[in-house]
Amino acid sequence: MIGKPEWFTYRIFGWGLRPRTWQGWAYVAVFIMLFLGIASMPISETAKMSAMWVLMGILIIDAVHLMTVLPKFHDERQNQHHLIIEKNVSLAAVLALVGVALMQTYQNRGLDTGMLPFDWSIAVILGVMVLTKIVSTVYVNKKM
């Protein structure tokens, strides 16, 4: 792809990547300049939006590629720390979703709607998380 994994590292806050070297910063600057260049071109708004979406697609595909190969360029300790952080974030997300479902169930305790006593999207998100956990566990166990 375009970027090289040694130019980037894990973000400290949030998810994704951050530049680690001057080449990483140049990579980011080039994409910003391309976006600004497209925005200032004297072409129709439709053409500008199309070009922006293509450029955004390239950036997203390259970022996903970089994130998949990044662990190979970090030492074991950095990867272990990153995994612990992601595990803790996942646990916090599950607990927050269950907490919101319980709160909504409590708020709707007197209503007889015949449906879930909480927002259905919470159940969908938790279901997707369980399915992802199952698929990931099966995949990892087959690799071992």
Task: Give the dihedral sign, CA 28/34/35/36.
Answer: positive
pLDDT at 113: 66
Model confidence over 60-116: pLDDT tens digits?
999 999 988 888 877 777 778 778 888 888 899 999 999 998 888 888 876 776 777
Mean pLDDT throughout 43-59? 94
- Average pLDDT across the chain, whole number: 87
Which of 132, 5, 11 shows the shortest CA–CA distance to 82? 11
Task: Give the dihedral sign, CA 144/138/125/58.
Answer: positive
Residue 22: pLDDT band (50, 70, 90) is: very high
Domain boundary assignment for the chain:
5-73, 76-143
Mean pLDDT throughout 28-48? 94
